[in-house]
Amino acid sequence: MNPNELLFVPLGGAGEIGLNLYLFGYDGRWLMVDLGISFADEMLPGVEIVLPDPGFITERREDLAGLVLTHAHEDHFGAIPYLWDQLSCPVWCTPFTAALLRRKLEENGIGRVPVRVVEPGERFDVGPFDCELLHVTHSIPEANALAIRTPLGNVLHTGDWKIDPVPLLGPTTSVEALQRFGDEGVLAMVADSTNILDPGTSGSEAEVKDSLKDLIGRLGQRVVLTTFASNVARVQTAIEVAHEVGREVCAVGRSMRRMLEAAREVGYLADLKPLLDERAASALPRNRILWLATGCQGEPRAALARMASGQHPAVRLQPDDAVIFSSKIIPGNERTLYNLHNDLVSQGVEVITEHDHFVHVSGHPCRDEVEQMYRWIRPQIAIPVHGEARHLHEHLALARQLGVPQALEVRNGDLARLAPGPSEVIDEVPVGRLVLENQVLIQAGDDLFRTRRRLMAHGTVLVSLVVDSYGSMLAPPQVSAFGAIDLDRLNAGRQAMIGEIEEAIEELDDAAVLDDERVRERVRTAVRRGLRLAREKRPIIEVQIIRLGQDALAGLEQAEGVAP
């Protein structure tokens, strides 16, 4: 690294929503902002979580000055327990984020993490970077933008944010602090693009509260409300609204209880009337209780999915009960959630989502809010992140339209120089994704997943051959199939396929028959032909060859001779 340059490298977040990991370089040191996870899609069967590959920075660990967390959403801090061994740097964050981080680390048996708790407005040095968190509203308490001051220029990393005029919990977005930072002169703004395609503004938690009160007040039977546990303002809203309309509240699901505990620990929710435990709640008539449940994304082990499948110990849903999804569908979860909705509706349960009622607002800025941020900060360089290609593209166009002198397009792994001189991508660094597979981190591009996808789609055929040292078959080939084709239904066809295999091997010349790879190749072709596989069917055809030498054969004959 040239110490006289100000550099920016996204390793996660520039090209996707989720998996945030950003690096700023200056004076020979690196500052890391956020370290998130995302959830695996169908390309990674059997995998739950995906992490950014931090290889670029772990190779430079001695130059890593520290990690600043903007907020405690999983896509911004969820990877810490998994990557901690490789990083072990000081971490700066606000009290609520620290409370959740501590719990997360404890659960994973990690101690001695140097967490420095800071308040918004407090200045702290991370190596050569003069840092300050500026409070912004979002869908979790204590979200922050990060102001970074360096002799080569100032940078604002917006983190995840919105302008909620009445956030109900915590202060509003610190407009004055943002404007003041803008007045100092800001070289670059790294900015949230999640809702850039949506016009207007994202709305307020206060409006959701009014709407939920109206809705729950009209519902006559049991009400289950599900939302992201981390949206403490929404959770508070649900509790307050329930109490206002004469219902008690019971929180179910581990992450809901853990989040409530962390919020109370740092002083939130102090004025709330106590909640009921499951036993007390179950004893009440169903129109006197609101169940606050985890599982708004249809997570199979969460409280709501268990209620829907009749497996929850405390809640048996009945016809005319209502389930309110006070949340959005995270892209990719549509099928899972619609299945859950279908399950509920089939039981006569009323399903209420943001499509039917005003029960949710996003935590990210819509287009008007993003424009407002540009007016406050007035950066020289716009760097859209926290978005897929289509979001980043639209955000770049908006920045140009707003007259930002430079709109810099970066993708994960791009190394951009922000100063001196005009900003540009000057290099590419190694980038990738890791997944937790069987408790071990491996590359998401590993062949393991290609094989697993092929097995899921096409199954496998297993052929075992026993041959002697001359390549002659000592027994008929054994063929099994798993998920590829029903061999029993082949009847005579099965015999024909075995005949094809035998013939294929007999046709091989003396050299080829001793070459395992050539035998395998020939057998695979014979199996495809024998099974009459359509061109698009591509099962994995695994051929096991057991070659018995003269000694082994002699041993076998002897053993046969003494057998009764």
Q: How far is it, in rounded angstroms, from Cα 444 to Cα 40?
A: 10
By C-beta, is 388 or 521 nearer to Zn ion?
388
DSSP-derived secondary structure for 521-556? HHHHHHHHHHTT--TT---EEEEEEEEE-HHHHHHH
Least gap, CB of 287 to Zn ion (angstroms) = 35
By C-beta, is 97 or 423 nearer to Zn ion?
97
By C-beta, is 157 or 247 nearer to Zn ion?
157
Least gap, CB of 266 to Zn ion (angstroms) = 18
Provide the β-strand partners of residue 38. 50
Checking DSSP bridges between strand 143-150 and strand 129-136, what pairing results, if any?
antiparallel
Least gap, CB of 138 to Zn ion (angstroms) = 5
Q: Using CB under 5 A, which residues numbered 64 to 93 contact Zn ion? A: 73, 75
Supply 270's token pair.
């102090």
Least gap, CB of 78 to Zn ion (angstroms) = 10
By C-beta, is 230 or 380 nearer to Zn ion?
230
Least gap, CB of 102 to Zn ion (angstroms) = 19
- Give the x-and-dash track for 115-134 against Zn ion (CB under 5 A): --------------------
Q: How far is it, in rounded angstroms, from Cα 11 to Cα 133?
A: 21
Phi, psi of 77 (to 5 degrees): -140, 5
3-state class (DSSP) for residue 141: coil
Least gap, CB of 11 to Zn ion (angstroms) = 15
By C-beta, is 98 or 526 nearer to Zn ion?
98
162 binds Zn ion (CB under 5 A): no
By C-beta, is 40 or 69 nearer to Zn ion?
69
Strands (E), 13-103: 21-26, 29-33, 38-39, 49-52, 64-68, 91-93
**Residue 215: HSE in the Cβ half-sphere, 13 Å Cα cutoff:** 28
Residue 273: burial class (beta carbons within 10 Å; 0-12, 13-18, 19+) = exposed
Phi, psi of 147 (to 5 degrees): -95, 125
Q: How far is it, in rounded angstroms, from Cα 374 to Cα 401?
A: 11
Provide the β-strand partners of residue 542. 462
Least gap, CB of 83 to Zn ion (angstroms) = 17
By C-beta, is 73 or 157 nearer to Zn ion?
73
160 binds Zn ion (CB under 5 A): yes
Least gap, CB of 453 to Zn ion (angstroms) = 28
Least gap, CB of 71 to Zn ion (angstroms) = 6
Q: Please list the helix, strand and coil fractions of the chain in percent, rounded to the nearest 5, in that order.
A: 35, 25, 40
By CB under 5 A, which span of 157-165, 350-358, 480-488, 548-556 interacts with Zn ion? 157-165
By C-beta, is 73 or 458 nearer to Zn ion?
73
DSSP code of residue 142:
S
By C-beta, is 38 or 201 nearer to Zn ion?
38
Q: Which residues touch 231 (CB under 8 Å, ≥6 apart)?
A: 139, 140, 327, 363
Least gap, CB of 76 to Zn ion (angstroms) = 6
Q: How many residues bind to Zn ion according to rule CB under 5 A?
A: 3
By C-beta, is 128 or 170 nearer to Zn ion?
170
Q: For residues 449 and 45, is the Cβ–Cβ distance under 8 A? A: yes
By C-beta, is 72 or 419 nearer to Zn ion?
72
Q: For residues 42 and 67, is the Cβ–Cβ distance under 8 A? A: no
Least gap, CB of 198 to Zn ion (angstroms) = 16
Supply 397's token pair.
């166009």
CA quadruple 6, 11, 12, 15: dihedral, nearest 10: 80
Given the structure tokens 């959740």, which residue do they identify? Answer: 100
By CB under 5 A, which span of 160-168, 246-254, 389-397, 423-431 interacts with Zn ion? 160-168
Q: For residues 141 and 169, is the Cβ–Cβ distance under 8 A? A: yes
By C-beta, is 143 or 541 nearer to Zn ion?
143
Q: How far is it, in rounded angstroms, from Cα 323 to Cα 306?
A: 13
Least gap, CB of 140 to Zn ion (angstroms) = 6
Residues that bind Zn ion (CB under 5 A): 73, 75, 160
